[in-house]
C-alpha cells in the first residue's frame, strides 16, 4: 500500500505544488482514523502485490483478512479480478519487467520526501509507472497526474527503481481503477524532469517562512480544510453575501465556492467528532446517540414466538430474520401485537449536536478508560 512523508508524497504532490502553505497546516491536524474503504484498499493492494511477486496464489488469498475486511469471492470478482485482467491487457505478451511496492525518494535533493510505487516497470524503450485505484468513488484521471509523475521522478532518483528508466525515451503512466478500463498516458522524460523542478520549488517554499495558501480542487482531500484561513474566510464571506442581485456569472462562481464550503463543513464536523471521541471538549458541542433502531434480542426466540402467533417462514425470513418493524406490520394483519421482551433499541453510534440539543450526551467510556489506563502504565 502506498506511503508518503509528512512533507509531500504522491497523493499530496498536486496540493503542495498548488498550495505550499498546506504542509504546515496539515501537520497541525490529528491523524485521521482509518475507514473500511481505506482498509479494503490496503487488503487489495497487499493481495495484488503478493500475487505479482509470486508469493501467493489467488486461491490462497481468498478468505484472508485485513482489519476485519475479508477478501471473499465477491470482492475478488468486483475489484481484484478486473485489476489482474487489466494487467493482462496492458502487457499481453508478458514482456514487462517490473517490481512492486518499491519505496522511492529524492535523496539529498529532497531529504525526508519519499513514496511507494505500486508497480514500476519497463517495456522496450518505455518506462512504466502503474497505480492501482481500488476505491469506488471519484474516477481518477491519468493525464498530467501529479501522483504518478511524483512516483516517476522519485523512481529516477532511487537506485532500486532507476533501472526502469535507464535509456528510456518516454514514460507511460497507467491507472487501473475497476470497473473502469485502464487509463494510459505517455510523456517524455523531459516532462518528469520539469515536474521535479516544480516539486522542489514548492517544497522549498512550503518549508520556508509564511508559505502561501490557495484554494482550488486540490482542497478536496486536504485534512486541514477545517482550520485553513482561506477556507474559513470563504465561509465567512459566504455568510455575508446576499443571493439577491447576483448576476449569472457570480452565481456560477458561488456554486463552485459552495462545493469547497460543503467539503470544509463536512471535514470540520468530522474533526469535531474525532476530537470529542478522543476525550477533548469542543465548547458548545457534544456527541449524542443516533436514533435507536430496534433489534431482536435473540433471533431464534423471536422466530419461535412469531410463529406461535400465526406467522410462517415465508413471512419471517429474508436472508435473515426480518426486522422488528416488518414483523410488527405483519402482525397487524392478524390483529396481534409484537410479543414483549423480544427486542432492544440500540443506537448505531454517535453524532455531533449542539449543547442545546435535548438528548443527553453519549458517554465516551471506551476512550476515557483507555486514556485512564494509559496514565497508569
- What are the pLDDT digits (tens) for 276-320? 988 899 999 999 887 777 888 888 888 888 888 888 777 777 667
Q: Classify residue 4 by its DSSP letter.
A: B
Confidence of residue 2 (pLDDT cuts 50, 70, 90): very low
Whole-structure pTM value: 0.71
Tens digit of each residue's pLDDT (9 = 90 or more) over 135-146:
877 889 999 999
Is the per-residue pLDDT at 3 higher than 70? Answer: no
| 3-state DSSP assignment of residue 286 | strand
Cβ–Cβ under 8 Å, residues 128 and 164: yes
Pairing assessment for the beta strands 69-70 and 97-105 based on DSSP bridges: unpaired
Is the per-residue pLDDT at 347 higher than 70? Answer: no
Cβ–Cβ under 8 Å, residues 102 and 157: no
Mean per-residue pLDDT, 197-211:
96
Tens digit of each residue's pLDDT (9 = 90 or more) over 14-60:
999 999 999 999 999 998 888 899 999 999 999 999 999 999 999 99
- Which residue bears the cell 490496503? 42
The span from the CA of 2 to the CA of 246, in Å, is 45
Output phi, psi for 357, to 5 deg.
-60, 135
Is the per-residue pLDDT at 376 higher than 70? Answer: no
Specify the pLDDT at position 235: 72
The span from the CA of 162 to the CA of 319, in Å, is 53
More confident residue, 235 or 259: 259
The span from the CA of 363 to the CA of 304, in Å, is 35
Triad 36, 45, 65: Cα angle to 5°: 55
Tens digit of each residue's pLDDT (9 = 90 or more) over 74-130:
999 999 999 999 999 999 999 999 999 999 999 999 998 999 999 999 999 999 999
The span from the CA of 185 to the CA of 65, in Å, is 34
The span from the CA of 85 to the CA of 81, in Å, is 6
First to last CA, the chain: 33
Strands (E), the chain: 65-66, 69-70, 97-105, 114-123, 126-132, 170-176, 183-188, 285-289, 292-296, 343-347, 350-354
Specify the pLDDT at position 1: 45
Q: Could you give the dihedral angle defined by the CA atoms of residues 361, 365, 368 and 369, in that order, rounded to the nearest 10 degrees?
A: 170
Average model confidence (pLDDT) for the chain? 87
The span from the CA of 375 to the CA of 319, in Å, is 46
Domains (ranges, CATH) in the chain?
10-206 (3.90.320), 217-275 (no CATH), 286-376 (no CATH)
Amino acid at each position: 500500500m502506498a506511503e508518503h512523508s509528512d512533507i509531500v508524497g504522491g497523493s499530496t504532490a498536486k496540493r503542495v505544488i498548488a498550495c505550499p502553505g498546506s504542509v504546515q497546516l496539515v501537520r497541525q491536524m490529528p491523524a485521521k482514523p482509518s475507514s473500511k474503504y481505506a482498509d479494503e484498499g490496503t487488503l487489495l493492494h497487499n493481495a495484488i502485490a503478493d500475487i505479482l511477486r509470486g508469493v501467493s496464489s489467488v486461491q490462497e488469498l481468498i478468505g484472508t483478512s485485513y482489519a476485519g475486511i475479508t477478501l471473499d469471492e465477491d470482492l475478488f470478482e468486483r475489484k481484484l479480478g478486473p485489476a489482474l485482467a487489466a494487467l493482462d491487457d496492458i502487457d499481453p505478451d508478458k514482456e514487462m519487467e517490473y517490481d512492486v511496492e518499491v519505496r522511492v525518494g529524492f535523496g539529498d535533493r529532497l531529504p525526508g520526501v519519499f513514496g511507494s510505487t505500486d508497480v514500476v516497470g519497463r517495456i522496450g524503450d518505455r518506462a512504466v509507472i502503474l497505480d492501482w485505484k481500488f476505491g469506488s468513488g471519484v474516477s481518477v484521471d491519468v493525464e498530467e497526474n501529479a501522483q504518478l509523475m511524483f512516483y516517476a521522478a522519485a523512481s529516477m532518483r532511487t537506485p532500486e527503481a532507476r533501472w526502469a528508466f535507464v535509456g528510456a525515451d518516454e514514460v507511460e503512466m497507467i491507472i487501473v481503477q475497476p470497473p473502469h478500463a485502464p487509463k494510459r498516458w505517455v510523456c517524455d522524460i523531459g516532462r518528469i524532469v520539469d515536474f521535479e523542478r516544480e516539486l522542489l520549488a514548492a517544497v522549498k517554499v512550503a518549508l520556508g517562512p509564511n508559505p502561501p495558501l490557495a484554494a482550488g480542487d486540490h482542497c478536496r482531500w486536504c485534512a486541514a480544510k477545517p482550520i485553513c484561513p482561506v477556507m474559513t474566510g470563504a465561509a465567512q464571506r459566504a455568510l455575508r453575501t446576499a443571493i439577491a442581485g447576483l448576476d449569472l456569472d457570480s452565481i456560477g462562481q458561488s456554486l463552485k465556492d459552495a462545493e469547497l464550503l460543503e467539503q470544509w463543513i463536512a471535514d470540520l464536523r468530522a474533526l469535531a467528532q474525532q476530537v470529542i471521541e478522543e476525550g477533548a471538549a469542543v465548547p458548545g458541542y457534544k456527541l449524542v446517540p443516533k436514533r435507536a433502531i430496534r433489534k431482536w434480542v435473540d433471533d431464534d426466540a423471536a422466530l419461535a414466538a412469531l410463529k406461535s402467533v400465526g406467522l410462517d417462514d415465508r413471512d419471517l425470513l429474508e436472508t435473515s430474520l426480518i426486522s422488528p418493524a416488518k414483523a410488527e406490520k405483519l402482525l397487524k394483519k392478524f390483529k396481534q401485537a409484537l410479543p414483549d421482551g423480544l427486542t432492544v433499541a440500540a443506537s448505531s453510534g454517535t453524532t455531533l449536536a449542539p449543547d442545546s440539543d435535548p438528548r443527553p450526551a453519549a458517554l465516551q467510556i471506551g476512550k476515557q478508560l483507555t486514556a485512564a489506563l494509559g496514565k497508569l502504565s
